[in-house]
Amino acid sequence: MIYLYTLPGTAFNMPQLSVPLLKGYLKECKIKSKQYDLSSRFLEYCFKKEYIKEISLQYYLSLSESDKNIVDNIEKAVKQMQTKLIDTDKIVSANEQIQKYLEILSKYYNIKWGRRGIDFSKKILTVDDTIELAFDEKNTIFDKVLENTHKLNDGDIIYLSIQYPFQLNYALRFSKHLKSKSNNIKIILGGDYITHINKNLNEIMQKCIYIDGMTLFGNYNNVVEMIKLFQNKKVSNINNIIYRKNNKIIYKFNKQNDCFYKNKYIPDFSDLNLNKYLSNLKLIPLTLNYGCYHSKCMFCSRYYYYNGYSTYNINKIFSYLKELYNNEHIEAVYFIDECVHPDILMKLADYLINNNIKIKWMVETRIDNKYTDKNFAKVLYESGCREISFGIESYNKSILKDMNKGIDLKVAKSTMKNFYNSGISISATFMIGYPTENILNIKRTLKFIKKFKYLDTFGLSIFSYMRNSKLVNLSNLDEEKDLNLIYRTTNDKYSTYINIIDKFNNTKKIKRFVSNRQKILYRSEYMYLDRNYYSLNYRSDV
């Protein structure tokens, strides 16, 4: 049997898509598999009022009365995050309780729980650091959900999806546990993060005897071929894998595009209970295309994982969405694509309208001239679109040119205005501290964020070198000595940028927005929370 695992993450509002997408791909290849979401299992097992008492009654008794109250009422908070009755104040309050509970739990395990990952008390930079952490007797936060609940048989194959750096040590810990049950199984690691640390895979294989193979990039055909390899079946040409054979490590790395079977990328959520996640609407993630159709931004590393761009068979995806709507009563969809082309979005909107599919949905895309047509936004709103996000990055033409961003700021403003006025919540991302940027450029971007009135939410970050980005490839950074996806350089002005953002966040208008945004766990909630509450500019009484 093939078992597919989503490793524990830090988000609980919906399944992580990579494993359902792989299960669907295997199904199209006539390969049976069973999937498990360990994040969902962690939510189910560990968000109980008795859980902290069970792991350490002494720790529970040491808590303040307010913290004990959070622990004692955590199940009520979870229920509020799942109720179909949309009450913004109650949902936001439940968000805060969930966050506080995670802080209490994290303090016990001496970690820092963030929205995008877990930070450990010790810096994890090397493979040896990761291995040491993986088998640390105190690193037990996920042990309860890593325990395998089904019997393993000789010849079974386990696939572990690793999307984020912090998950690698848990994958190694889980693999050791699985091999202790049956040494005659095969364990494959895959996912975004494995691709990004391809320069370190030989060392991992040499030092981690529990791992039998790893697959790179998002083309799942190499997973299929590795399964055949471990089942002693005939294998066609296979690239971008590393595996053990006769006590030797074989590494086949070839960034040339493999044969891409776009018709097979249809996810399968059938093994998952979609009612168990922290979302007031029954929510699923979907993707409509493979990679980013621009893929030229100098700072971005996502293009590397996809190793190209392709459209999926969107008609098959639309049909599956209709099936989920009719049979599973799906209420919301987060299209998690890197960047969806406007032509695909219009086809999606037309399909939803013509088939009377009443869902709310959100998407990330890029600025395009086609969005300046006011009717475009109106059609998307009619189809259920309630939140759309654009990567603007900078309000400076010269910096956008240096980034190779390829957008026109006049088109960007017109686009955001159209969507904002249609009723769709507008989100945009910005960064400061780009290598060619100066303080005047930064002030111009911050002024735009503050003054532009057709903006609901924004993300503001400090530029960092991203592993495998074009900028890193042109730099002297040595990726083999650091397993992080994000790098800071020692001679930059990071502390200066932190102070600039802190000062900006404390201005009157922005301070209210930041305060409210920090109380909301997931962007998907913008689809149904009161827009008056979270929006930077929107007021229904105006």
Single-letter code of the amino acid located at 344: I
SS3 state at 346:
helix
Same domain membership, residue 142 and residue 214: yes
Last residue of a domain, one of 101, 120, 139: 120
Report yes or no on 276 lying in a domain: no
- pLDDT of the residue at 359: 98
Q: Which residues touch 186 (CB under 8 Å, ≥6 apart)?
A: 156, 157, 158, 212, 213, 230
pLDDT band at 489 (very low <50, low <70, confident <90, very high): low
User: Which amino acid, one-letter code, is at 25?
Assistant: Y
Query: What would the DSSP string read from start to end of 354-383?
Result: HTT---EEEEEE---GGGGSHHHHHHHHHH
Residues whose CB is less than 8 angstroms from the CB of residue 522 and which lie 6 or more positions away in sequence, other chains included: 11, 13, 278, 279
Give domain status of residue 260, yes or no.
no
Looking at the structure, tell me whether residues 194 and 316 fall in a common domain: no
- Mean pLDDT value of segment 209-234: 94
356-404 residue pLDDT tens: 999 999 999 999 999 999 999 999 999 999 999 999 999 999 999 999 9
Q: Are residues 59 and 170 in the same domain?
A: no
How far apart are alpha carbons 446 and 42 in whole angstroms? Answer: 39
Helix ranges (DSSP H) in 452-507: 470-474, 494-505
Neighbours of 503 (CB within 10 A): 11
pLDDT at site 303? 85
Residues 224 and 107 in one domain: no
For residue 494, pLDDT beyond 90: no
Residue where a domain stops, chosen among 76, 91, 120: 120
The pLDDT of residue 210 is: 94
For residue 89, give both structure tokens.
Answer: 């104040």
471 and 334 part of one domain = yes
For residue 255, the model assigns a pLDDT of 74
Amino acid at 527: M
Does 51 share its domain with 35? no
- Residue 56 confidence (pLDDT) above 70: yes
Residue 215: which CATH number? 3.40.50.280
Q: Which two tokens stand for residue 358?
A: 């009443």
The whole domain housing 87 covers: 43-120
Instruction: Check residue 257 and give its pLDDT.
Output: 61
pLDDT digit string, tens, across residues 394-449: 999 999 999 999 999 999 999 999 999 999 999 999 999 999 999 999 999 999 99
Asked if residue 96 is part of any domain, the answer here is: yes
pLDDT tens per residue across span 120-159:
999 999 999 999 999 999 999 999 998 866 788 999 999 9
- Tell me which DSSP letter residue 137 carries: T
Residues 98 and 211 in one domain: no
Domain count, the chain: 3
pLDDT score, position 496: 93
Q: What is the pLDDT of residues 166-212, one digit of tens each?
A: 999 999 999 999 999 888 999 999 999 999 999 999 999 999 999 99
Give me the pLDDT at residue 29, please.
Answer: 96
Residue 488 sits in a domain of what CATH number? 3.80.30.20
**Domain boundary at 100, 120, 140, which?**
120
Q: Tell me, yes or no, whether 309 and 243 share the same domain.
A: no
Phi-psi region of 83 (alpha: psi -120 to 50; beta: other; left: phi over 0): beta
Say whether both 240 and 114 belong to one domain: no
Assess whether pLDDT exceeds 60 at residue 490.
no
Residues 500 and 415 in one domain: yes
Per-residue pLDDT at 476: 74
pLDDT in tens, 254-295: 876 667 899 999 999 999 999 999 999 999 999 999 999 999
Higher pLDDT, 256 or 220: 220
> Residue 258 falls within a domain, yes or no?
no
DSSP helix/strand/coil, 486: strand
* DSSP class of 198: G
Average pLDDT of 486-505? 85
- Residue 45 pLDDT more than 60? yes
Question: Does 183 share its domain with 63?
Answer: no
Does 539 reside within a domain?
no
- Predicted local distance difference test score (pLDDT) of residue 277: 97
Q: Are residues 63 and 204 in the same domain?
A: no
Q: Is residue 188 part of a domain?
A: yes
pLDDT at 488 over 70: no
The separation between CA 147 and the C-alpha centre of its own chain, rounded to angstroms, equals 24
Q: What is the pLDDT of residues 72-113, one digit of tens each?
A: 999 999 999 999 999 999 999 999 999 999 999 999 999 999
Is 267 domain-assigned? no
DSSP summary character for residue 341: -
How would you class 8 by CB atoms within 10 Å of its CB: exposed for 0-12, middle for 13-18, buried for 19 or more?
A: buried
**pLDDT score, position 254:** 82
Q: What's the token pair of residue 441?
A: 């450029």
In a domain, 407, yes or no: yes
